[in-house]
Amino acid sequence: MNNVTLIGNISTDIDLRATPNGKFVAKFNLAVNNPYNREKTSFLPIEIWGKPAEHTSNFCGKGSKVGITGYLEVDEWEKDGKKHYKTKVVANQIEFLTPKGKSENTPPPKQNTNEDPFADNGEPIDINDDDLPF
């Protein structure tokens, strides 16, 4: 069995390309925290094909949090008489966990702290029935 499930942040620009027969492939690295050592992060190469590749390129970017399921694949090639290997994750499915246009480092909106929440001294608040949806 060869299954991989990851949640992490896209750490590189997404490289979207089309093959000669018109099929799209997107490649990027995913930053994934080590579950046993929070100070250690792995940067894993991800490859995704077809429509999901197009959607990932359109709706995600550097810093976007995504969930990925797929499998491990090892590329092997020979150069200058030496064999080289590269392990990558080929994604079957991707789920976008950060809304488009937002990054994981965006601070939460500031709340209005000018009003005293206890200004009514516990008195009932007058609510007009016309404003209630029920």
In a domain, 11, yes or no: yes
HSE value, Cβ hemisphere, 13 Å, CA-based, for 103: 7
- Tell me how far apart the alpha carbons of residues 6 and 4 are, in angstroms, rounded to a whole number: 7
Domain tally, the chain? 1
Domain residue limits at 92 = 4-101
Round to whole Å and give the CA distance between 88 and 3: 12
Written as tens digits, the pLDDT of the chain (134 aa) is 999 999 999 999 999 999 999 899 999 999 999 889 888 999 999 999 999 999 999 999 999 999 999 999 999 999 999 999 999 999 999 999 986 556 555 444 445 555 665 666 666 666 566 655 55
Whichever domain contains 47, its CATH number is: 2.40.50.140
Q: Is residue 63 part of a domain?
A: yes
Residue 118 lies in a domain: no
- Is residue 110 included in any domain, yes or no? no
**129 belongs to a structural domain:** no
